[in-house]
Chains A and B, each alone.
Chain A
Amino acid sequence: MSQILHVTINGTSKEIAIEPDEILLDILRREGYKGVKRGCKEGTCGTCTILLNDKAVKSCILLAAQTENCSIITIEGIGTRDNPHPIQQAFVDEGVVQCGFCIPGMILSAKNLLDNNPSPTKDEVKMALDGNLCRCTGYSGQIKAVLAAAAVMRGEK
């Protein structure tokens, strides 16, 4: 039994035909948002993180149908190569992108934090990112990058 999902993705209204039992992650990837990743599919690794009504959630444990009339933001919606979001730029500048698989999810979790808390402490950054697993970097560089991005977003740099 199909239904039409009405949702806004990266600012664009969409009507997407879905089955009621489809997971949001699968729908987003099918719609072309390949930056939303699958690392575990049980809500642990965080690579599927998106912003749902401006809150970071894991799209692999969410039914698409639950997002009716909601706004979704994926990594594709926050910046481009020519016009990157300060967090994306900070991750590049600090050299903390290694294999890259955890990065989109991590950047969105960071954005969720900085949009609500422009001057986080290091511990607050750690807590905001503790749902995004990374195996390559050891995290400290990424925490540094988020703090650097925060400064830029506050207009300090």
Chain B
Amino acid sequence: MFLVKEFSSEVDSMAVGKRLKRKDADTKVTGEAPYAYDMSFADEQYLAVIRSPYAHARIVNIAIDYKILESLGVVAGTAKDIPGKNILHVILDDWPLLAEKVVRHVGEPVVILVAASLHLAEEARKYVSIEYIEIPAVFDPVEAKDHPTIQIFEENNVCSYWQQKNGDVEKGFAESDIVIENEYRTPAQEHAYIETQGCIAVPQGHDSMTVYGSMQCPFYVQRCVAEILGMEWSKVNIIQTTTGGAFGGKEDVPNQVGSLAALGAWLVRKPVKFLLTREEDIETTSKRHPAVIRYKTGVTKQGELKAIKVEVFLNTGAYATLAPAVLYRAAMHAAGPYRCGNVDVQAYAVTTNLVPFGAFRGFGSPQVIFPGEEQMDRAAESIGMDPSDFRELHILKVGDKTTFGQVIDQSVGLEQTLHKAREQSGWYKKRKPTPTIAQVLEEQKKGKYRRKGIGISTIFYGCFLGAAGKLMSRSGAYVQVEPDGSVRFAVGTTEMGQGMITVLSQIVAEELGIEYEKVYMTPVDTSRVPDSGPTVASRATIMSGRALQDACKQLRTLIYDKVALKYEVDATDIEIKEFQIQEITTQKKLLSVSDAIKLVYQERGQIAVAGWDVAPPTHYDNEKGQGDAYSAYAWCTNIVEVEVDSQIGTVDILNIWAAHDVGKAINPQTLEGQIEGGSLQGLGYGRYEEIIFTPEGRVLSNNLGTYLIPTTKETPKIHSIIVEDPWSGGPYGAKGIGEQPLMGIAPALTNAIANAVGVRLNTIPATPERVWAAIQEKIEEEKV
């Protein structure tokens, strides 16, 4: 692992920027960290869910033998038993908790069973019989859009629409020397977090409800549980347990998992555990939206990018859930981080009878980045230009306007990432001419089957929730000092492995000038801070960070006031330096920050403060297809080196160079962890992973032996390159890193395959079967 850092000019900091040890590592290496499955409650019950076996059917009758169930001590619940609303709120309110009249996907929950043991709950299934009438189903989004007879969402099955429009694409194509047009397909990618979904609902009679669970967005779950149970929100408390990975898969799904558990707990007035098996998890919970993308690019022989036209069909599954937000990101990223005067992006989210798809690291952007970066590569190829040089001609720089009309006036590190990635990888030296198929076959005759190749992608990422997520763009924090000089803080965003606890602790340590070891984050609990929005969109560091900065600023004022009083100095003449409070003018050290905190406590000063942050406003006009889509942008260049066996089609990935402009690396170690992990997940998307459905719409690849994520043996060398082009709106200039590492890997990979063996793929993952078939097709075409 190779690391290059470039710090912006800053004074030596005490915590921020340092590779400090993760706060949560100790309990995790000893196996003590409590995940949902590890929690126990007295008299706890277990939940089993009876789910639809059909992709699309009417429910004629639900027959439950309540008498036998009662004798077994099992309680059943249907939609009729929901005390509040039978809706799980995400965005469009079309998602029921339990199906009533219609089921719209295989695995949709219909009946819950609560029993003292899971075995008993499973046994009880046979006492529930549901009569269905199957109706026609549709699984492809292009087919489902405006379907004449099959209705899943309103009349045309389109639950969301976004566009980007600029200039005149037809004119642009007319002025192009070469027009490249293709249809691309991307698969459903499963999160495969190693800890499966699980929630435990603990009721206090019918008065209030606490739900513990593996989740990213406790406030989402709070709202859903409150609405399902018809309870005031203030009576519903959600507490996040140690979460074993999420990647977006635990953004909206816990709404369902937690609410099913809560309904069960409501019915039996006892704690109810709902812990999904791996098969149930893969079969019934969200995945990355599969997509069909039609992409048309026009270029001139001199390398001008004349026009980009994109049509995106996002397959959203049976319910909209997060589709409007995912589609927004897809639409905004579809034309890439380039200057182009003629752009037309039309994006649709279409419902089908598959499992509802949802958030997954990248959130709509990987689906459009794969075709977008393939097209850029093919365009470069068509005019005989090096693909990195071609991109360099068009990438956005400071002061440029994006294709959707936003002028980005700061923090545009893309060019830096491109230069560094190219330099570190030895791009020009490694990039050999793409072979013809005749050359490949010649080499095979001589016994040479393996060919190396190198490919590139340049991407951007609109940070945080953007114009579409305005309403949720606020965050709270709470900072409390303890009598012994240590500090505890609470935020509303969650740790799921990404290192948030560590990074935020560093910020608090930095802001208050105390030792990092003295800072502690309490488990996330909706009763501690107000709704702080979801932990998504790489927003936690920035928004919780700023809220903490706000709180710490107030605390510093309080501390200075008490110190000024005691030491009879001017409150404005005090600063913190190296864990000490000192006078600015005389540089005389007064006392340690820890002691100052104790002083505040002794003097009965206010020892806890709340902080708040609201994201800067952005506005997008979908009618015009133009606007300020996001508040800030992160940038990345990926270079992937592969070795392809031209006879067998296997692709081994040798190296990935991942250069990221993150604004500021608050903890370089956790940052590298995100880059490495995210890059490997992107590699999975491009090379190994796809959910396979049966023709009846059921998930076939439903366990970790058939849905294949990379093991140690698939891991290439991943070289993290950190670039810091600070953003004035982020704490210490930071912008966030969560998603970018995954997004650009797939096309860099397929571009490398093209360079290695001269064939192009329009579908990922690039399995040996697909690469081989592409080679055979080329042999046929060129009649070699």
Contact = CB atoms under 8 A, between A and B. Distances in A.
A155 interface: no
B704 A34 contact: no
A72 to B, nearest CB: 14
A99 B703 contact: no
B278 interface: yes
B709 A135 contact: yes
Interface stretch (B190-198, B416-424, B596-604, B630-638): B190-198
B345 to A, nearest CB: 31
A40 to B, nearest CB: 4
B426 interface: no
Nearest to B245: A99
B490 interface: no
A139 B712 contact: yes
B242 interface: yes
Contacts of A142: 712
B565 interface: no
A135 B681 contact: yes
B9 interface: no
A135 B244 CA distance: 10
A91 B673 CA distance: 12
Contact of A126 (B30, B195, B497, B713): B713
Q: Is the interface of A mostly helix, strand, loop or mixed?
A: loop
B171 interface: no
Nearest to A84: B29
B194 A47 contact: yes
A92 to B, nearest CB: 4
B85 interface: no
A150 to B, nearest CB: 16
Given A42-B278, A76-B30, A135 B677 contact: yes
Nearest to A43: B705
Contacts of A138: 673, 676-680, 715, 718
Contacts of B28: 97, 100, 103
A96 interface: yes
Interface string B681-719: 100000000000000000000011100011111010110
A140 interface: yes
Contact of A98 (B32, B37, B677, B705): B677
A75 B31 contact: yes
A121 interface: no
Nearest to B668: A95
Contacts of B713: 126-127, 130
Contact of B24 (A45, A97, A143): A97
A39 B278 contact: yes
Contacts of A74: 31
Contacts of B681: 135
A19 to B, nearest CB: 11
A42 B712 contact: no
Contacts of A27: none
A20 interface: no
B305 interface: no
B670 interface: yes
Interface centre among B21, B715, B717 (most CB of A within 10 A): B715
Contact of A97 (B22, B243, B710): B22
A59 to B, nearest CB: 13
Interface in B254-301: 277-278
Contacts of A44: 703-705
B277 A41 contact: yes
A133 B22 contact: no
B553 interface: no
Contacts of A125: 712
Nearest to B707: A44
Nearest to B497: A99
A97 B25 contact: yes
Contacts of A129: 712
B42 to A, nearest CB: 16
Interface in B1-40: 1, 19, 21-22, 24-35, 37-38
A94 to B, nearest CB: 8
Given A98-B677, A138-B676, A138-B677, A92 B26 contact: yes
Contacts of B46: none
A111 interface: no
A35 B30 contact: yes
B496 interface: yes
Interface in B389-425: none
A99 B1 contact: no
Contacts of A37: 35, 37, 195
B671 to A, nearest CB: 10
Interface residues of B, number: 57
A74 to B, nearest CB: 7
A125 B21 CA distance: 24
B244 A130 contact: no
A95 B680 CA distance: 17
Contact of A81 (B21, B30, B497): B30
B498 interface: yes
Interface string A107-120: 10000000000000
B497 A130 contact: no
A66 interface: no
A3 interface: no
A50 B48 CA distance: 29
A84 B245 CA distance: 24
Interface in B46-91: none
Given A34-B38, A45-B704, A139-B715, A101 B31 contact: no
B704 A40 contact: yes
A129 B35 CA distance: 23
Interface string B490-504: 000000111100000
A40 B497 contact: no
A62 to B, nearest CB: 17
A40 B703 contact: yes
Interface centre among A37, A39, A91, A127 (most CB of B within 10 A): A39
A39 B195 contact: yes
Contacts of A42: 278, 703-705
A136 B278 contact: no
Contacts of B673: 95-96, 98, 136-138, 141
Interface in A25-72: 33-42, 44-45, 47
B285 to A, nearest CB: 15
Interface centre among B19, B22, B29, B498 (most CB of A within 10 A): B29
B22 A92 contact: yes
A81 B26 contact: yes
A6 interface: no
A33 B38 CA distance: 10
B580 interface: no
Contacts of B460: none
B669 interface: yes
A138 B243 CA distance: 18
Contacts of B34: 34
Contacts of A80: 30
B771 to A, nearest CB: 23
A125 B27 CA distance: 24
Given A135-B709, A138-B677, A91 B25 contact: yes
Closest 3 CB pairs of A and B: A35-B31, A99-B497, A100-B28
26 contacts: A35-B31, A39-B278, A40-B703, A81-B26, A81-B30, A88-B29, A92-B25, A97-B22, A97-B25, A98-B673, A99-B193, A99-B194, A100-B24, A100-B25, A100-B33, A100-B497, A102-B194, A103-B28, A103-B31, A131-B711, A133-B711, A134-B194, A135-B245, A136-B245, A137-B677, A140-B715
Given A41-B277, A139-B710, 16 more contacts: A39-B195, A80-B30, A91-B29, A92-B26, A97-B22, A103-B28, A104-B29, A135-B193, A135-B245, A136-B194, A138-B676, A139-B711, A140-B717, A140-B718, A141-B673, A143-B712
